[in-house]
A and B are shown apart, each in its own frame.
Chain A
Amino acid sequence: MSKNNLTRRGVLKGTAAAGVTLTAPTIFTKSWAAGYRNEPKGDTVTLGFNVPQTGAYADEGADELRAYELAVEHINGEGDGGMLQTFSSKALEGKGVNGKKVVFVTGDTQTKSDAARASAKRMIEKDGAVMITGGSSSGVAIAVQGLCQDAGVIFMAGLTHSNDTTGKDRRANGFRHFFNTEMSGAALGPVLKNAFGNERTAYHLTADYTWGWSQEGSIKKYTEKLGWKTSAAVRTPLGAGDFSQYITPVLNSGADVLVLNHYGRDMVNSLTQAVQFGLRDKSVNGKDFAIVVPLYSRLMAQGAGENVKGIFGSTNWHWSLQDEGSKAFVKSFGTKYGFPPSQAAHTTYCQALLYADAAQRAGTFMPSEVGKALEGFKFDGLGNGPTEYRAGDHQCFKDVLVVKGKENPSSKFDVLEVVEVTPRAQVEYPDTMLGGELGPYNNGA
């Protein structure tokens, strides 16, 4: 014998329960009750600043840290507000983010992938950081980006210039404000053509790691398009110190341009030694010999002293820019620290602000929602003109600066002069060109 308990009241109750169950995820999503990694519970939110505090890039790391401290002050409503005053988004009101005061912890990348991953892991697991940012090396950026993807937190890259960071190694949780080697090549090409003509033979000295290969490939691509020939591309060990054994073969190679795909200490040493070997004053086949440094850092260029005079390169930002955003940032930074900010300081300051703004607009720190707020986000007032965080690869697209070592510097900071602002349209490329897949966001819970 069977008994049918189906009643009208029962059907109504069941329908109501089913409705609540089905709508529940939406309700939780909207109120962000669903958990995510390091969801802040108190009245503060913790950011992790992972910068080189020791090692060859320690000075650059110190400048990044200064910029982050300034950004935190401004986000929390202290100081003069810096670029928050000129930023096109007005979501941040100087009251922290999502009602929480921003606090931070720091880690030392040592510019070593293992050390950088260890310090990022510590900040995520022990200190509860919801976002990791910083660094001065592409190798480190790619390593930490992978870790943040796996851990379920956002990574806002610092100074990383290799195509791979937002190319074949791109990740959904990772975002880069800094430009890349493809953009450097596209910006430098026309300037080099105007300065040196299209019948040139280039000799490359390239740092033997991911960024060097990426830089060499981009410059070769764009200079060969101009009609330049490449006589040799020689790989040099990272941190070689004395590059003279690689420079002596250039002297009688028939090349009339030397491209130094070196950064930091390697750039300072190879450029100093190239000038010492008379390459800047040499004539080959009736043409003045030229040296090109595709990626300049003003902090590092100071180390090369007068050897940078007249040498072309590209940079992400320079303190002498006269737009309102740059002026506000230089004023804020210069007043606090007594000297102008570097491009590393600028990009990290922007990244901190952009993350805070995205989290505020999203109303949560959940990585997938912050990421969606950043994807396709168009903004202005942060020193690079109109900029877009492209959704397809999480790379910022903006104007690129072509610079030259200044002939008559007025101070030790006045090393570079901007010779051209290359418009964004000229450096843009399809988001599928460099390969890689973003994959899904990881919220870590």
Chain B
Amino acid sequence: MDAILLQILNGLDKGGAYALIALGLTIIFGTLGVVNFAHGALFMLGAFVAVSVKALLSLDKVTLDPTQTTAWGAPMEIRVPYIEAWLGDFGATLLEYSVPLSILVAIPFMLLIGIAMERGLIRFFYKRPHAEQILVTFGLAIVIQEIIKSMYGANPIPQPAPEVAKGMIDFGRMIGLDAGGVVYPAWRLIYFLFSALIIALVFAFLQFTTFGMVVRAGMADRETVGLLGIDIDRKFTIVFGIAAVVAGLAGVMYTPILSPDYHMGMDFLVLSFVVVVVGGMGSLGGAVAAGFLLGIVQSFASMNEVKNIIPGIDQVIIYLIAMIVLLVRPRGLMGRKGVMES
């Protein structure tokens, strides 16, 4: 029982990341009709916003200590972050909380990146075939990757969670089970709650605001909305920016779980597309449901009891499920009629 609960929790935090990326992909596809292969790169860019914020907060004053030398004979450098020198303990606290603080920077930054991407490149490919959209966005993803690699190197860069969120939470005891049976890292539970909050905010935005109503109308019938005198293109540009913000925030908060490197976006991209396809192209609810579902299934498939029966199942289970879903329900779990069927 404990093992099963642990894998469910594991699937939920993993699924949270899949759902957030897939949600952004679906929003872009549903509104603009663009298959955006650069979406994983946006997730990675978000993670590197956290890296950059920490690097900025860690900018240090370097003094040379002539009494000590390095192994190659140069004077030893003594480094003290400016922020600690100026603000003392408060500066140290800011450094410790650099990951959650990065959210404040990531929102405007990712919004700008999203808008610039859409206006500068993606809009020229709206009426082009999906194959061309895939090629150009994939190329863009590689360019972003290489820029990040040239700036930060290829090695992962650790981003610790704040001290208060580093420990474990006895989840089992919280739900009335024996103490110590289901103990789970606090930050991963925070990540799951964070992803649930972002998903709820996006849904609320689309459901309960006038902007959201116009966007939903545009998703259903772009031409008619345009004929009503609404500048739907402008609205969709902002939607692209919002999708970029969602992917970026998913990346920022994921950094204590996975030390960011330039390639992390690609690792999530393929899985996220499978999530979108399983959920149903253009279905926001489908993307979220499939994200969590596939996260949990992937966790269960990695259990030794399962792997002993079917070796290697953990490496193919997601694709196997995608095949089965597409055979039984060709439009995905919650797919809409007419999307990508022309």
Contacts and interface: CB of A to CB of B under 8 A. Distances in A.
| Same complex | yes
A244 B188 contact: yes
Contact of A306 (B160, B168, B181, B307): B160
A269 B259 contact: yes
A59 B154 contact: yes
Interface string A48-68: 000000011111000000000
Contact of B156 (A232, A251, A269): A269
Interface string B171-186: 0000000000101010
Contact of B185 (A234, A245, A276): A276
Say which size band chain A's interface belongs to.
35 or more
B14 A251 contact: no
Contact of A244 (B3, B13, B71): B13
How would you classify the secondary structure of chain A's contact residues: helix, strand, loop or mixed? helix
B156 A268 contact: yes
A325 to B, nearest CB: 13
A246 B72 contact: no
Given A276-B187, A303-B156, A304-B259, A245 B10 contact: yes
Given A55-B154, A334-B71, A276 B257 contact: yes
A244 B157 CA distance: 19
Contacts of B264: 241
Contacts of A244: 10, 13-14, 188, 257, 299
Contacts of A55: 154
Contacts of B7: 245, 248
A389 B185 CA distance: 48
B118 interface: no
B202 interface: no
B160 A305 contact: yes
A265 interface: yes
Most-contacted residue by chain B among A272, A327, A333 (CB, 10 A): A272
A273 interface: yes
B interface, size bucket:
35 or more
Interface string B155-170: 1111010000011100
A340 B183 contact: no
A302 to B, nearest CB: 7
Contacts of A269: 156, 258-259
A237 interface: yes
Given A245-B10, A320-B71, A304 B181 contact: no
Interface in B143-157: 149, 153-157
A330 interface: yes
Contacts of A265: 155-156, 261, 263
A227 B25 CA distance: 53
A56 B267 CA distance: 12
Contacts of B261: 56, 265, 303
A12 B10 CA distance: 92
Interface in B238-293: 256-259, 261, 263-264, 267-268
Contacts of B231: none
Given A58-B149, A241-B258, A269-B258, A248 B72 contact: no
B70 interface: yes
Given A234-B307, A277-B185, A335-B73, A303 B10 contact: no
Interface string B287-321: 00000000000110011100100001011000000
B2 interface: yes
A75 to B, nearest CB: 21
B121 interface: no
B215 to A, nearest CB: 32
29 contacts: A55-B154, A56-B261, A56-B263, A58-B149, A234-B307, A242-B258, A244-B13, A244-B14, A245-B10, A245-B298, A245-B299, A248-B3, A248-B299, A272-B258, A273-B257, A276-B166, A276-B187, A276-B188, A278-B168, A299-B155, A302-B155, A303-B155, A303-B259, A306-B158, A306-B160, A331-B71, A332-B72, A333-B72, A335-B74
Counting from the closest, the 6 A-B pairs by CB-CB distance are A334-B72, A305-B158, A245-B302, A58-B154, A303-B156, A245-B299
Interface of B: 2-3, 6-7, 10-11, 13-14, 70-74, 149, 153-158, 160, 166-168, 181, 183, 185, 187-188, 256-259, 261, 263-264, 267-268, 298-299, 302-304, 307, 312, 314-315
Given A241-B264, A276-B187, A276-B257, 4 more contacts: A245-B299, A265-B156, A331-B72, A340-B71
